[in-house]
């Protein structure tokens, strides 16, 4: 089961993504962003549609206005703390398929990360 996220969450995320892009723009001296590739973990509790909407809203009037947003969804993975097996998970707190333990460490799928930018 996935917790329902509220749009404010996605808006705030988009704002931090834009901040990161603007910071990079100052360092690398680009003035226009054409495409943003974003890694979104499937356990990050983010609605993709809300994210796209938020991105359009926060980039208005910025160097990334009208930029394409390419989203790559990253499946959840956890490593079992008992047997060391790493396995795919659809939700947090799933049992290890090998030994049945619930003690696991999330190793992938919770992140929101800018992977790549196409700039000019």
Q: Which is nearer to Zn ion, 66 or 84 (by Cβ)? A: 84
- Interface size with Zn ion, residues (CB under 5 A): 8
| Token pair listed for 70 | 């390419």
Q: Please, which of residues 21-80 interact with Zn ion by CB under 5 A?
A: 80
Q: Which helix (DSSP H) or strand (DSSP E) does residue 29 occupy?
A: none
Smallest distance, Å, CB 106 to Zn ion? Answer: 14
Residue 54: CA count within 13 A, CB half-sphere: 19
Could you say which of 12, 83, 88, 91 contacts Zn ion (CB under 5 A)?
83
Could you say which of 17, 36, 96, 117 contacts Zn ion (CB under 5 A)?
96
Regarding 101 and contact with Zn ion (CB under 5 A), the answer is: yes
Smallest distance, Å, CB 108 to Zn ion? Answer: 17
Residues 6+ apart with CB under 8 A from 38: 17, 51, 69, 70, 71, 72, 112, 113, 114, 115
Do 33 and 114 contact (CB within 8 A), yes or no? no
Regarding 98 and contact with Zn ion (CB under 5 A), the answer is: yes
Measured distance CA(38)–CA(14) in Å, rounded: 11
Region from 19-27, 57-65, 89-97, 106-114 binding Zn ion, contact rule CB under 5 A: 89-97
Contact footprint for Zn ion (CB under 5 A): 80, 82-83, 85, 96, 98-99, 101
């Amino acid at each position: 089961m996935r917790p329902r996220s509220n749009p404010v969450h996605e808006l705030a995320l988009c704002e931090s993504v834009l901040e990161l892009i603007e910071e990079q723009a100052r360092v690398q001296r680009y003035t226009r962003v054409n495409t943003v590739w974003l890694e979104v973990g499937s356990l990050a509790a983010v609605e993709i549609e809300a994210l796209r909407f938020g991105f359009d809203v926060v980039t208005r009037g910025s160097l990334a206005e009208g930029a394409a947003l390419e989203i790559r969804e990253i499946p959840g993975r956890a490593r079992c703390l008992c047997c060391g097996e790493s396995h795919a998970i659809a939700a947090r707190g799933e049992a290890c398929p090998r030994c049945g333990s619930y003690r696991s460490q999330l190793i992938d799928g919770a992140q929101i990360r800018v992977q790549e930018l196409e700039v000019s």
